[in-house]
Each structure stands twice: as C-alpha cells, then as structure tokens.
Amino acid sequence: MAKAPANPKAFPTLALETVLIQRVSGPVCGVDEAGRGPWAGPVSAAAVILNPDDLPPGIDDSKALTEKRRAALEPEIKARAVAWGVGFASVEEIEDLNILHATGLAMCRAIEALSVQPVAALVDGNYRFKLPCEIQTVVGGDGLSLSIAAASILAKTARDRLMIELDAQYPGYGFAGHKGYNAPAHTAGLKALGPCPAHRRSWAPIKALLEEA
C-alpha cells in the first residue's frame, strides 16, 4: 500500500492581518517576545507592521529557522517593513514585576518604538497584555501570522545579540552559546562562579545555588 504524502508545512500568511485591518481601519502590527524562559538576561519583544506589497520571502516562526537564516532575514524585515520596533525588560524589571508583566512591558516598549503607531496588534499566545492599542491574541501566532513571525525573528535576533555582549562582559557562563537558557555549560559556569548580575536570581536553579552558598 502506498503511503499518503506527508502534509506540507503551512507557512504564516497575512490572513489574520487582513481581517483585522478591515475591522479597525488602520495599521496592524504583529508582536512577539523572546527570552521568557532563560535563567539569565532580559526578555525582549518586537513589533512589526509589514508592507503587504513588499514582503521578504521566507518569513517564518523564528524557532523554525536557523540562526543564519534569522540573521539574513532581520535586515530584510527592517528595510521593507512599514515600521518595526524592539523593546527589552531588564533582569531587574523581571525580578520586580515577574516575567509575565516584564514581558508586557517589553511589548509596550516595542510598540512605542514604532514610527507608525498601530490601531491594533496581533499578539502571540493567549495572554491579554495591557498594550497601547487594541490587541487580538493568537495561540501559535508565530506560525500563522506573518507579522507575528517577523516580530519573533526581530525579538530573537536582538536578544541573541545582547546575550553575546553579556558573554563578553561576564565570561565563563557560555551566554554566547546557550543565550542564558538551561544548558550543561551554563550549570557548570554557575557552579564554578556563582550567579552574576545578568542572572535572574528568583529563578529556581539560581535560588538553589544562592541557598547553598
């Protein structure tokens, strides 16, 4: 018996943007974040208003792309989008506000950095952050909406670049490789050196090390 062909991967489109633009009669941006789960470093967010007549080919969920492909798409998105913005919330803000509210703060900063202010935003996930415009949440949005996918790329590349800078500032933890996430090299660095100012001290593994000290 012949095997049925595998379903081809569905790529994000502008379908959600088109419907929302028609409803709100104004610009719509896609918003996504990077870095909610790591043990170290800030959380980043990006907002992008795409030009439907000038779309860079190959935009997809950042997690589905290689680092090289994300790096190639970043300048293309920035050059061809109607507007784009990136925002961060610091480690201190994550500790003060908690990661959820710090993520919302980074998203607000990303939207406020846009040269064209949107009437509405498509936001990846199901949490209704308080943002400076109307929002529509989209579960799995980085795989459905081109604007959210573009934002996911800009948020990821911006944060990765910052983590490489932190690696130079705080050597020994391997930030340039794992970008602050859980990894054997990160655990080894923490055990050898203890936490540095870039670490989220309220995170369970960091708290455990501090309690042992």
CB 154 within 8 A of CB 48: yes
Lookup: tokens for 193:
């050196």
Give 11's DSSP letter. P
Lookup: tokens for 35:
């870095």
CB 189 within 8 A of CB 171: no
Is 53 annotated as contributing to ligand binding? no
Give 105's DSSP letter. H
Give 171's DSSP letter. T
CB 12 within 8 A of CB 142: yes
Name the pairing type of β-strands 83-89 and 43-49. Answer: antiparallel
Lookup: tokens for 128:
């209704």
CB 200 within 8 A of CB 94: yes
Q: Report the C-alpha gap between 34 and 151 in whole angstroms.
A: 10
Is 96 annotated as contributing to ligand binding? no
Is 33 annotated as contributing to ligand binding? yes
Identify the CA nearest to 28 among candidates 50, 45, 11: 50
| Residue list for the binding site for a divalent metal cation | 32-33, 124
Where is the binding site, in residues? 32-33, 124
